[in-house]
Structure 1
């Protein structure tokens, strides 16, 4: 199997592929397609489709199932979505990201000795967004009841055979889990034994989560009996979570364990429907969420790359890899400094950042012969007719990086190991040959949910937060988010992403949709923190430039740059610093390319799989069918009909 990459990509360079074999078969469907992070969760989507639900109903069922399975997220996390509405012909953005709670200030965390908010525990939590996001999406764009859509997740909460990945993650993190009494009671089903976590295949029961979901359904059903509309009934369930007895227990359990979330924080929060951002890449309209995510980084990259002959360079040639790496370094530098919550300020220069003229100027900064370890944020303000107010901060920012530290480039970022393995990591574990740590990073993390149906509804969701080891809030069974760590405490690092109560952190979570000729073309997403838009950029180019099928594109070898500020992991500056020249390459990269890249200033590491598990759906308008793609880089799975 490992030779398929070499064969496939040789064929690509030679000419058009006709029927190239892939490691997993492509999915085909005429009526619907459901793809997500776990086989059981994909089955939940299929169950809803079989009941007559649309793609939105199915996606909500998959979201609920993945949260119940801790894949790797929970009900207290956050949800981000893009939806194509065939009734209006428009793409809709859903912002169901929680906000920093009351008391979450720079002074509070600096007073505790942090340079970034903590990675774990109740002080890492933003307000939960997924329950509200699911209710809003279902009420506005679904067709079924909350009771019907939550049925698979509720059956799973009553007991489902837990898979090895989650079971082993619990065992590996049991010392931290023991710090939180409610988490300990849920996760450690064999207390005092050598293995305290569930075994793979064991029926894992979550009685308190089931009770919480039951209360939400009860609220909906009571509202229906009182002659409320379908939408009003679903939002009655929403109110019970954020303003009723569920909220009271959530806050009590959070604060008992040292958290900051208040009842007012929950009651004031609400999901938002937004206009997405988009750019045109050679006739394809690509949509991403606003600057509270890293999504615009992919759009900026496409603006730079559209002027170049990528196909002529050759897939994953030295020149192609170098061009991608340099482009991503520039756009990540912009992301790191300029992105943040647009509801806290109107001054984020997103218009300038997405300007085609700005992209051309940034492209001129690419050195064709060497990696630039000093790649820095640009100045998008003139492209909005404004002056940059952050000139002094940009100068101050330079003091944080030291590219003379050669050791940086040869190590995987600490987040790759510590945040996803969730156990102490030593320097020798972070060495270049630590392929297993990087593999774990790719196989775990967030998840993605993609769904489409014959009526034209298409949805892409990238939910996350509350991953193992999660601190469960009281007797709700709901794990709290850890997303507060994506804020900064110093404006020189990111002036728009400094923590403040009621503010959203700039997240890595980034669903994607694309239209072609005004019709849905692609829905795609991936897990993997800062690598998400790196992987999705290359997936998109694999299809748009190199003619791969959707399954081929999910399996294809990617590159990853670590020359960026990490969004997750570690509370010290040194934990988040960029690693200039650090690049992950596929293990089958030819020796000639390896040598050329080293001579250009790169410090490579190698892996068999070099992207997170990409999930995607391609809408084949020519044949009136759906293509599903899901790489075998994790446990992701799809079903079509």
Structure 2
């Protein structure tokens, strides 16, 4: 009898790995979820906190639309300091069913008068500081909320702010937030008004020191409540004077940015070493703008433009579109490598070309988002190894122009200078010394809302997170977004700090349409990980057939190769986090490709999303099981 030779172990392992990869797509579709899908016929509201989701639901119950609900959730999460506050910034995409258009809301603050590279460099800083009065751009969230509400909502400002006002009067604070305040106590104590807000108790173990609220305690913010009352009073006075709904909301807007609230914000900021002037707030404005988009296999994906990082996801989709991602197998070594390399190229472009489109120089958006440029970048992707030297490309020829920054482009380095010099004497107090991972994941929240009339809203607000500098008796915590600027044009000539300029932020809401109708709304908390997570969420649904909850809970990979937008702006080429769901074989294969693979229990990906079921005419909501993300539907 002739015996067949035994397969060699390595050969057998290779065959087994290939077979498992081919099964990965169906396995991904079949995965169980920790949370159920939210099914709604009339409306869906999803955000980062259960109480805030309830605020959105209350607006729907009052007859409001998805914009009203999103504004109420924005106010509630800001009041809860859910990694943002009222002095932060708001970024939104809105689908208007009455016009069939997607509009962007740009409510990102600007650098104040005097904020120049020389100002920070003279104080020994390599980047603007992470925290404190000098880290603040002008407040954007109040203006963004009021403009969205006035232009697209149905309810009054008083109705939409009522949940926030009730919470400012006192809400039971979660253990996670109480612990967060306590852990940041050393920073908070540097500013008297922050101490008063966040540390309401004497510390029984340390006489003379203050302590955070206890978990479950009613956290009261009387100063913030008074500020919100001022906005509602301004609206009521305008209505009593015969103004219409929209005009009355804008009267409240004027009181915040040009009245007594603005005056107190400026006074407190300057008293503690900040640069704000009355003109900085009075001249700032919210922009209702055209978003950018690309088409991926028949789906139109919309993002805000280069003042945030959103176009990087569109660039990555353009690079990946012709490739057989599904055939590679979900989270196989080849799939992960392909994603990583596409992101390398897209984020390298982000790091050099993205900045405020309202000030010169003009970003080469048309070239960056062209399919021809994507094909050129695709050809630069190494087939079998990571490229730690991935660099920005040159999109200018793809919009018929010559690159005016060619010399700077040639000087660009993947790893930016560290910020060891940050914080000369007297300014070190503005630095929290976050770890690289903390900076990379630095926070925000996310908001999705949709209704049966067709309104769809995706919001990624942020800024003013704890430990925030609270501006005097306003109860408003100011933004820390100044740190996302650079001081050296060799790093990014479009994102050098200047008075009146917006920093290039990480905040990136998303909408997708098919055949002109909404298909999904999705965004995610986090910093530089956001468009990594959203890219994978989108592909999980479109390429691998996951439902919205499966895609929201899926264990993503995380690259740290792009330059952080926070703190010391670190870059760690080749560093890759995966979970145990990636097989030992695929992890070993990635190591062979030059990656430094870290296997963690879960990667950071707190996604919220809404999917539109066209067959049934309903909406499906998804919220990750990472933290407190929560939704309500009806």
Task: Tell me the TM-score normalised to structure 1 length.
Answer: 0.91
Question: Would the aligned equivalents of 1:612 and 1:634 in 2 still touch at CA under 8 Å?
Answer: no
Q: Distance in 2 between matches of 1:94 and 1:231?
A: 17
* CA 16–197 in structure 1, closer or farther in 2 if over 3 Å, else same: closer
Which consecutive segments of 4 or more residues in structure 1 shift more than 4 A?
9-12, 16-20, 399-402, 422-426
Shift of 1:386: 1.1
* Correspondence list, 1:151-190, <5 A: 151-190=162-201
- Residue number in structure 2 paired with 1:520: 518
Say if 1:465 and 1:481, in contact at 8 Å, map to a contact too.
Answer: yes
Quick one: structure 1 residues 202 and 116, their matched pair in 2 at CA, closer, same or farther if it must change by over 3 Å? same
Name the residue aligned to 1:614: 607
Structure 2 distance, partners of 1:399, 1:186, is: 41
Kept after mapping to 2: 8 A contact 1:173/1:423:
no
1:313 to 323, 328, 331: 328
Paired residues of 1:327 and 1:363 also in contact (CA < 8 A): yes
Corresponding residue for residue 636 of structure 1:
629
Identify which of 236, 258, 267 aligns with 2:273: 258
Corresponding residue for residue 567 of structure 1: 565
**Aligned residue in 1 for 2:583:** 590
Q: Deviations over 1:593-625 (max 9, x none)?
A: 111000110001122221321000001111010
Distance across 2 between alignment mates of 1:252 and 1:202: 32
Matched, 1:356 2:367: no
**Partners of 1:634 and 1:606 in 2: CA distance:** 20
Distance in structure 1 (CA, Å) of the matches to 2:471 and 2:360 = 31
Determine the structure 2 residue equivalent to 1:269: 284
Question: Quick check: which has more Rg, 1 or 2?
Answer: 2
Preserved contact between residue 29 and residue 546 of structure 2 (Cα < 8 Å)? no
RMSD: 1.9
Q: Do the aligned partners of 1:11 and 1:17 also contact (CA within 8 Å) in 2?
A: no
Secondary structure at 2:294 match in 1: strand
Is 2:495 the partner of 1:497? yes
CA distance in 2: counterparts of 1:491 and 1:441, whole angstroms:
22
- Counterpart for residue 138 of structure 1: 149
What's the CA shift string for 1:70-113, capped at 9, x where partnerless?
00100000000000000000000010000000010111000111
In structure 1, what is the Cα distance between the partners aligned to 2:64 and 2:258?
Answer: 29
Which residue of 2 is the match for residue 445 of structure 1?
A: 443
1:293, distance to aligned residue in structure 2 (A) = 0.5
Query: Hey, what's the Cα distance between the residues in 2 that align with 1:48 and 1:198?
Result: 29
Aligned residues: 600
* Contact 1:164 1:201 (8 Å CA) reproduced: yes
Q: CA deviation at 1:17?
A: 7.3
Q: Is the contact between residue 352 and residue 383 of structure 1 (CA under 8 Å) also seen in structure 2? A: yes
Matched-pair contact (CA < 8 Å) for 2:89–2:109: yes
- Partners in 2 of 1:314 and 1:215 — Cα distance? 56
Matched, 1:40 2:46: no
CA contact (8 A) 2:332 2:582 kept: no
| Pairing partner for 2:261 from 246, 250, 254 | 246
For 1:124, the equivalent position in structure 2 comes to 135
Alignment check: 8 A CA contact 2:416 2:491 kept: no
Looking at structure 2, the residues matched to 18 and 348 of structure 1 have their Cα atoms a distance apart, in angstroms, of: 40
- In 2, Cα distance between the equivalents of 1:84 and 1:581? 38
What's the counterpart of residue 540 of structure 2? Answer: 542
Structure 1 segment 224-623 matched on structure 2, within 5 A? 224-345=239-360, 347-398=362-413, 445-569=443-567, 575-623=568-616
1:370 to partner: Cα distance: 0.4
CA contact (8 A) 2:39 2:621 kept: yes
TM-superposed CA distance for 1:190, in Å, is: 1.1
What's the CA shift for 1:588? Answer: 2.8
Q: Which residue of 2 aligns with 1:408?
A: none
Q: Secondary structure at the match of 2:316?
A: helix
Give the drift of 1:425: 6.2
- In structure 2, how many angstroms separate the alpha carbons of the residues matched to 1:351 and 1:425? 36
Q: 1:66 aligns with which of 63, 68, 77?
A: 77
CA deviation map 1:363-400 (0-9, x unaligned): 00011110001100001011011111212112222385
- For the 8 Å contact 1:12–1:546, the answer to whether it is kept is no
Indicate if the aligned counterparts of 1:172 and 1:423 stay in contact, CA closer than 8 A: no
Q: 1:425 to 1:220 in 2, by over 3 A?
A: closer
SS at match of 2:44: strand
* Partner in structure 1 of residue 424 of structure 2: none
Question: What are the Cα deviations for residues 266-305 of structure 1, in whole angstroms up to 9, with x where unaligned?
Answer: 0000100100000000000000001000000000000000
TM-score normalized with structure 2 length: 0.92
Gaps of at least 5 residues in structure 1 are 1-5, 406-421, 431-436, 570-574
Identify unmatched segments of 5+ residues in structure 2.
Answer: 1-16, 419-430
Partner of 1:419: none
Alpha-carbon distance between aligned partners in 2 of 1:425 and 1:249, rounded to the nearest angstrom: 30
Deviations 1:438-470 (A, max 9, x none): 7x976x710001000000000000000000000
Instruction: Between 602-611 and 497-506, report the one with greater CA deviation.
Output: 602-611
Matched residue, 1:99? 110
Deviation at 1:11, TM superposition (A): 9.8
In terms of mean alpha carbon deviation, does 166-175 or 188-197 score higher? 188-197
Matches of 1:72 and 1:591 in 2, distance apart?
A: 35
